Amino acid sequence: MVTALRVLWLVTGLWAVAAPAAQFTATVDRSELYQDEYLVLTLALVNSDTRLRAEGIKPNIDLTLLTDQFDLGTPTSDYRFNINRERGRSTSEVVVQLFPQRAGMLQIPPFTIDGVSSAPLPIRVLRPAAERTPEVFVRSAVASTSVWQREQLVVYSDLYHRVELTSAKTGGQLETEPVDPDIRLLPKSERSEVIDGVEYRVARNAWVMFPPHGGGLAVHLPDVWIETAQGRKQRFPVQTENVTVKPLPADVPAGVVVGKPDIAITAQSSVYATGRMASWDIAVRAPVLDIAIPAELPLIDFPVALKAYASNAKRTNDIRSDGITGIASYTLALIPAQPGRLSLPPIRFPYFDPARGVIDIASADGPEIEVARGELPPSIDGVPASAGSDTGGPSLTGMSHLVWQGVALIFAALWLVTLWRWKQRRTIASAGKTGAAATAVTMSPRFAGRPLIQAMLDALQAETLEQGLAGWEQHYGIDEQLRTTVRRLQEHYYGKTRPGETAALRAAVDTAVTRIRNTRTVATDGRDDWSPASFTARVKS
């Protein structure tokens, strides 16, 4: 017994010695930096089943120990297991960025988990040098600190750098207070700019919004993270811009465009004649979203001698780095009713002018056109159609009427011939099907030894009694007498007692067969292939 205990203690001791102990370390990517830079802290737990958690439910790493000296980035967690090293090795890590709050000697305190602690880390933070021309800096602003309700507002963040960057990104999204649900990111742009004799490359991130409500608006631009080719890491903090949103006057309609639109009129044709359609393209560009531009042109007063038809707008957005321009394209079809020189009415578009704070009208003068005399269609109201032109050419009105009448007669004749041929083929096909079916039923030797069943099947034109009864009731309704006769036939030939044929059963079958044939003959003779009931019956069958 004592020997067994000694062996057990020996094995346990050897296993404890051989098993790797858990290790918990804290490391930083650098221990000396400037105050406007940041460092990366990595907490690693090796050879342990515990996973490090700095966020979520019941975190086991308390990062609040750092908040009195550093601002924290967003921590990330990682876990991996390597089976190729010894008997396996697990590693759990938490990585977080630290931004020094002041210059001087700072210290990262020790962290403890599962009875294992990390060592404290001293950090030396230097004051940023007063550079006349910094390598990298950020400028953020809004296009205007005072806008009207529903007026376009552009917000931008410019990253200036005169050294190569290996990475540059924002730490979040643009946010506003109160929340604006319709914030759109504009395309990024790059340019060069000279400041104090030094050329900088500028990368711009821009957003656009249309504040829906009046009042104060706080715009929070995201922080910017960069890393230079020399390994310098910097983070530029969140910036806040305050904007005053002025409510629209009470007399401004809900659907009016906020911002002056630009109207352009383009002709698709250069020759105009009475009775001939000419098209004009009208393009409206405004500093709003395309859905804010009306789908139809405002009412236009056309002269009596001019008929006009406007299509609905084809709307789209022209999105650029400096803002959004909504575009609406209308097509205006014109039919002059009188020859001579005509002046098209101006295109007028109401809008709210943000610069003056009033409703105004944007207009584009309609051009003058020279209309030649031509053929007038009879649809022009109040203007008689001309019998011919002044050029002496032949009138095509009478000839066109004759051509259309002839074409109509030809198509009518072809339709009647086609209808007659179709009815002939239908009659022949129906007769052939009926004869073939009757021949097939009559010649079928399946029930040659059961004449009563065979007679009923011939009358019902079916393969079985149930099939024939179901088809009959579907077309002619429920017949209790016929159903009783069919059931007596089934009991007679397939029942357990199977009594012999009786005169009463034979008489019932003869009566049913006669009624079936008479009913079918009357229904067939009185059927109208072109009546609605005939089509309905064929669809149901």
C-alpha neighbours within 13 Å on the C-beta side of residue 428: 6
Q: What is the pLDDT of residues 36-87, one digit of tens each?
A: 888 899 999 888 888 888 888 888 888 989 989 998 888 988 888 766 555 5
User: Comparing 318 with 232, which gets the higher pLDDT?
Assistant: 318
Q: What percent of the chain has pLDDT over 70?
A: 79
Do 273 and 354 sit in the same domain of this protein? yes
Q: What was the pLDDT predicted at 6?
A: 61
Do 213 and 161 sit in the same domain of this protein? yes
Do 273 and 341 sit in the same domain of this protein? yes
Do 121 and 141 sit in the same domain of this protein? no
Which structural domain range is residue 38 located in? 22-126
Position 479 confidence tier, pLDDT thresholds 50, 70, 90: confident
Do 114 and 148 sit in the same domain of this protein? no
**In angstroms, rounded to a whole number, what is the distance separating the alpha carbons of residues 140 and 163?**
20
Q: What is the pLDDT of residues 334-349, one digit of tens each?
A: 888 778 887 788 888 8
Do 357 and 461 sit in the same domain of this protein? no
Q: Do 264 and 364 meet the contact criterion of CB atoms below 8 Å apart?
A: yes
Domain presence at residue 106: yes
Domain presence at residue 388: no
Q: What is the pLDDT of residues 203-242, one digit of tens each?
A: 999 999 999 999 999 999 999 999 999 988 888 888 999 9
Burial classification of residue 226, based on how many CB atoms lie within 10 Å of its CB (0-12 exposed, 13-18 middle, 19 or more buried) = buried
User: Comparing 112 with 394, which gets the higher pLDDT?
Assistant: 112
- pTM value is 0.57
Domain presence at residue 423: no
Domain presence at residue 429: no
Do 229 and 169 sit in the same domain of this protein? yes
Q: What is the pLDDT of residues 256-278, one digit of tens each?
A: 999 999 999 888 777 788 878 88
Q: Which residue has the tokens 């079958």?
A: 509
| SS3 per-residue string spanning 56-92 | CCCCCCCHHHHCCCEEECCCEEEEEEECCCCCCEEEE
User: Comparing 419 with 153, which gets the higher pLDDT?
Assistant: 153
Do 152 and 229 sit in the same domain of this protein? yes
Name the β-bridge partners of 369: 342
At 368, which CATH number? Answer: 2.60.40.10
Domain presence at residue 323: yes
Phi/psi for 346 (5° steps) reads -70, 150
pLDDT over 90 (residue 199): yes
Do 361 and 281 sit in the same domain of this protein? yes
Choose among 490, 488, 462: nearest CA to 475. 462
**If you average pLDDT over residues 86-111, what whole number do you get?**
85
At 205, which CATH number? Answer: 2.60.40.680
Do 112 and 151 sit in the same domain of this protein? no
Q: What is the pLDDT of residues 11-33, one digit of tens each?
A: 455 444 445 678 889 999 889 98
pLDDT over 70 (residue 524): no
State how many domains the chain has.
4
Do 108 and 180 sit in the same domain of this protein? no
Domain presence at residue 3: no
Q: Which residue has the tokens 């829906």?
A: 212
Domain presence at residue 533: no
Do 233 and 213 sit in the same domain of this protein? yes
